[in-house]
Structure 1
Amino acid sequence: DHYFRTMLGDRSLKLVSGVCYLPHPDKEETGGEDAHFIWDEQAIGIADGVGGWASYGIDAGQYARDIMSNAVTAIEEEPKDSIDLTRVLEKAHSSTTVPGSSTACIIAITNQGIQAINLGDSGFIVIRDGCTLCR
């Protein structure tokens, strides 16, 4: 965080994000098991549903979509300049009522710089001018 604040000085930060889904061919009919959100050029989140739930008749994609939707609601309840991502992920999880599980990675830009929380094997990379700044 200190690196980003020092490097950028007084310039305001914004998050430029995009997503692309490439579900496994066997999962195309349900839209796959991944979900995301992009919120106000300030936050992005991704969840990868655990496909093993399918053997129990549970749509892992629905869990991933619900937890990301609930993460947006939780972010909107946070002070815009100081988002607590641990609290956001905890609220999103406790608000998700469908069965299942997923990985989760949420990144937010605040007055303190870049904040991130990661659960499972999802992740993120910050690249600037072709160089990896953090991973």
Structure 2
Amino acid sequence: MDPTLSEDAHFVLSVAWATPEAESLQYVGIADGVGSWRGLGVDPREFPQRLMFWAQQYILSTAPSVSGSAVVDQPRPAPKPLEVLSAAWEMVMGEKAVGSSTACIATLDYSLDQLTFSNIGDNGVVVLRHIDSDIAGYMRERRTPRHLRTSDLRIAFISQQQLRSFNLPYQLGYTNVPAGGTFETPRDAVNTSFPIMPGDIVILATDGLYDNMELDEMCDIAQEWETKWFGGAMRGLDKQDNAAAADLAARLAQRARELSLDTSRDSPFALLAKENDIMWGGGMPDDVTVVVMRIVNKLSSKFQFAQDIPPPVGRALGPLPGQNSI
């Protein structure tokens, strides 16, 4: 319950970067520090916090200079998530910050209407879509008659996890101990783009969410949220509503925490543990970081975001831009 002890780190950054499609660009980053470093006297928060800090700094360093409403210099192409992740990793390695972390950097490519991300480890990116709506009829679920369905909101995309073995994800890291182990590099990341549509709900989260919550329950929570805030599916797409996105992020994070402490049911983590001959029951207590995006129509603001995670603590070079915690 003490947010300062969170081993996750994140950022949400909006940068003035005019393109034919948008006035600004948005980037999101999440990282999950490896808690076992505490047993070696290392603060596991430092590595992910530094990684996210330098990711923001790199994005800001490449953005066009703006004076008033005029662009001072000719903007270069916006950096792709892998470029951002690689630059941040090189800076952290140069600092020799001991620790390790999973990481995911994501952005929206407005020119192609795609969610683009670079992910290393077991962070998750999920896109929820109204599969049976008119705009996505080609993906509709055909097994259940339409009049018997309670919702057409379902999983359109889920990212690939990278695991060396059960509960041992790929991770970026540094150790000052000779022969202290090897880590992955950004070259090992999964780099993916997925088409997005108005009405899509994008969820980026650390494994604290996915280890404890079934995907079906995630859809149910999102459906209830849509009804509360917009009166139903595919509504309210002409303007952004950050308060609504913040509410869904909070709902998911709080429900994941409840499930993580529930010993009466087997979580997704427990079921997978049993499949790997490891006796585990109940939930998986862990830090939870959730970032929610809802895609709106192009004629209005294209992107809204919120996240449910305490601000980072520990050593930093300065204020971290883009923090918008609830």
**Same fold by TM (over 0.5)?**
yes
Alignment correspondent of 1:120: 121
Structure 1 counterpart SS, 2:105: strand
Alpha-carbon contact 2:31-2:101 (below 8 Å) kept = yes
Highest CA radius of gyration, 1 or 2?
A: 2
The offset of 1:30, in angstroms, is 4.1
Determine the C-alpha separation between the residues in 1 that align with 2:117 and 2:3.
Answer: 32
Q: Which has the higher helix share?
A: 1
Q: CA offsets, 1:74-106, max 9 Å, x none? A: 222446864321111111111112211100011
Determine the C-alpha separation between the residues in 1 that align with 2:125 and 2:32.
Answer: 13
Relative to the length of structure 1, the TM-score reads 0.70
Cα separation, partners in 2 of 1:86 and 1:29, compared to 1, 3 Å: closer
Consecutive unaligned residues in structure 1, runs of 5 or more: 1-24
Match for 2:35: what amino acid? G
Determine the C-alpha separation between the residues in 1 that align with 2:30 and 2:43.
Answer: 17
Over the aligned positions, Cα root-mean-square deviation in angstroms equals 2.1
Alignment correspondent of 2:317: none
Determine the C-alpha separation between the residues in 1 that align with 2:29 and 2:8.
Answer: 11
Instruction: State whether structure 2 residue 87 is matched by structure 1 residue 91.
Output: yes
Determine the C-alpha separation between the residues in 1 that align with 2:3 and 2:157.
Answer: 35
Of 67-76 and 80-89, more deviation after overlay is shown by 80-89
Query: How many residues end up aligned between the 2 structures?
Result: 109
Pick from 21, 31, 42 the counterpart of residue 58 of structure 1. 42
Alpha-carbon contact 1:38-1:44 (below 8 Å) kept = yes
Match for 2:86: what amino acid? E
Cα separation, partners in 2 of 1:88 and 1:124, compared to 1, 3 Å: same
Determine the C-alpha separation between the residues in 2 that align with 1:100 and 1:61.
Answer: 8
Alpha-carbon contact 1:37-1:68 (below 8 Å) kept = yes
Alpha-carbon contact 2:34-2:100 (below 8 Å) kept = yes
Q: CA offsets, 1:48-77, max 9 Å, x none? A: 001111112111111111101111112224
Determine the C-alpha separation between the residues in 2 that align with 1:109 and 1:29.
Answer: 29
Structure 1 counterpart SS, 2:104: strand
Structure 2 counterpart SS, 1:70: helix
Alignment correspondent of 1:16: none
Match for 1:36: what amino acid? H
Relative to the length of structure 2, the TM-score reads 0.31
Alignment correspondent of 1:134: 157
Q: CA offsets, 1:88-133, max 9 Å, x none? A: 1111111112211100011101233211111011121122343322
Alpha-carbon contact 1:78-1:84 (below 8 Å) kept = no
Match for 2:7: what amino acid? E
Determine the C-alpha separation between the residues in 1 that align with 2:107 and 2:43.
Answer: 28
Pick from 35, 51, 63 the counterpart of residue 67 of structure 1. 51
Consecutive unaligned residues in structure 2, runs of 5 or more: 15-24, 64-74, 131-152, 159-326
Percent identity between matched residues is 33
Determine the C-alpha separation between the residues in 2 that align with 1:86 and 1:29.
Answer: 29
Kindly indicate whether structure 1 or structure 2 has the higher relative contact order, using CA contacts under 8 Å at least 6 residues apart.
Answer: 1
